[in-house]
Amino acid sequence: MIQVFSNSLGPEELQAIADVFPSRWLGKGKHCDEFEKEFAENLRAPRVLLTNNCTSAISIAIRVLGIGPGDEVIVSTVNFVACASAVVDVGAVPIFADVDLHTLNITPSEIERLRTPRTKAVFLLHYGGHPSPMDEIGAACGDNIAIIEDSANAVSSSYKGEMCGTIGAAGVFSFDAMKILVMGDGGALVLKDDEAFQRAKSYRYLGLSHQSPSGFETMSKKKQQRWWEYDLDTVSGRFISNDVLAAIGRVQLKKLPQFIARRKQIWDHYQSELAEVAHLTCPPDPLPGTTSSYYLYWIQLRHRRDELAAYLGENGVYTTFRYYPLHLIKFFRAQCSLPVAEQINQTTLNLPLHQNLTDDDVQKIVDLTKRFLQG
């Protein structure tokens, strides 16, 4: 079965893990610190906070931005459930927004339609690695609404010279097993404001004061008695990563450009082969002045989307649709109709797109798709 997602882990990552073991320190240590520095350099960002997963990064971002009970957060409905759940978890209200029919990104007009005096933030997704129109979104938000960028699909995407995830007040990234840069699990948080970033350190680790040194440092360097005493800035969970995963991530970061290059080759082949197929719409290429991470490739069919998915599955090709619109999830009790997203939900299919696909794999997917639609 040709999978829709895949990762590329090899002997270099295994060796990186083996190099961690002799230290006997498997928790948050030098590899976490080094990954933060290296990933920040890759993003051209002043600082990055590594977390145990992207959901944790989302939760921390919402809290340090001061979002709480009674606040509203506009969330693009074609998005991962963790975004809306984190808003609900702090007592705020997710206000689901419709998206562009072809890019599947939130539209500035939806922000203008939905914003109220209670709107505290807009939570957008760079769908499939395709950058959202950040200038227009910034204008729609104005000075008082924070922008949170979900860059889980956009680890290497850029918008007019700035890396996605570094443009808004906060940006979050994912390194789980289905992403491009893989740690097994992991996430990262970028915050523009330095004070917010320092508070995020406390939220990442049990609410402990980010200014508190470790007990060992207190004993050995500060010569302080009762080095086991500590204080809290707040109450929080434990969202740190560890050196085993960070060591994998450091190797993956070096490989990231070749991953993106291969994904672009596959994207370009799909675009050239499927563009003229009747009854099928291909995704738009990245906007001028932007680059994509090519995380997802999506096609749209007016009819028979589900039949095509079944046909491809029967012939050894797994497909899916990311992401089921959040406003359709009964738990959120959204009292709204978002017609574009609902149309997308009936017509859109993600074809496999990852660096492990062979040329034969890609051609098989193309040929099967054409055969079904032209048969």
Residue-wise pLDDT tens digits, 212-262: 666 667 677 666 788 888 889 999 999 999 999 999 999 999 999 999 999
pLDDT of residue 319: 98
User: CA-CA distance, 205 to 318, in Å (whole number)?
Assistant: 39
Domain membership of residue 293 as a residue range: 256-374
14 has pLDDT over 90:
yes
Average pLDDT over residues 157-165: 98
pLDDT above 70 (res 192): yes
- pLDDT reported for residue 227: 82
214 and 116 assigned to the same domain:
yes
Q: What is the pTM of this model?
A: 0.96
CATH number, domain of 348, equals: 3.90.1150.10
Is residue 198 assigned to a domain? yes
Tell me the two tokens of residue 207.
């609410």
Do 72 and 150 have their domain in common? Answer: yes
Tell me the two tokens of residue 324: 């089921």
pLDDT the model gives residue 216:
65
Q: Give the N- to C-terminal CA distance of the chain in Å, as an integer.
A: 23
For residue 346, tell me if it sits in a domain: yes
**Structural Rg of the chain based on CA atoms:** 22
pLDDT tens sequence across 308-321: 999 999 999 999 99
Least confident piece of the model among 5-14, 126-135, 198-207, 220-229: 220-229
Burial class for 180, CB neighbours closer than 10 Å (0-12, 13-18, 19+): buried
Q: Are residues 268 and 172 in the same domain?
A: no
> Considering the domain boundaries, does residue 2 fall inside one?
no
Q: What is the CATH number of the domain that holds 146?
A: 3.40.640.10
Considering the domain boundaries, does residue 5 fall inside one?
no
Same domain? For 267 and 155 the reply is no
Average pLDDT, the chain: 96
Q: Are residues 41 and 177 in the same domain?
A: yes
Give a yes or no: residue 96 inside a domain: yes
Residue after which a domain boundary falls, among 222, 253, 284: 253
Residue 88 to residue 86: CA distance in whole angstroms: 5
How many Å apart are CA 253 and CA 260, to the nearest integer? 11
Query: Phi and psi (nearest 5°) for 102?
Result: -105, -35
Q: Which of 187, 128, 131 is nearest to 354 (CA)?
A: 128
Per-residue pLDDT at 213: 64
Statement to judge: residues 24 and 130 lie in one domain: yes
Which of 114-118, 202-206, 217-221, 230-234 shows the lowest per-residue confidence on average (mean pLDDT)?
Answer: 217-221
Residues 111 and 27 in one domain: yes
Residue 210, pLDDT > 80, answer: no
Residues 122 and 228 in one domain: yes
Give the residue from 192, 227, 253 where a domain finishes: 253
Overall number of domains in the chain: 2
pLDDT tens, position by position, 55-87: 999 999 999 999 999 999 999 999 999 999 999
User: Are 182 and 246 part of one and the same domain?
Assistant: yes
Confidence of residue 375 (pLDDT cuts 50, 70, 90): confident
* Shared-domain flag, residues 138 and 177: yes
Question: Domain ends where: 199, 226, 253?
Answer: 253
- 1 is a domain residue: no
Answer yes or no: do 172 and 245 share one domain: yes
The mean pLDDT value for 281-287 works out to: 96
Q: What is the pLDDT of residue 230?
A: 87
pLDDT for the residue numbered 87? 98
CA distance 88 to 70: 10
Mention every residue, 6+ apart, whose C-beta is less than 8 A from residue 247: 13, 16, 17, 19, 20, 31
Q: Is residue 369 part of a domain?
A: yes
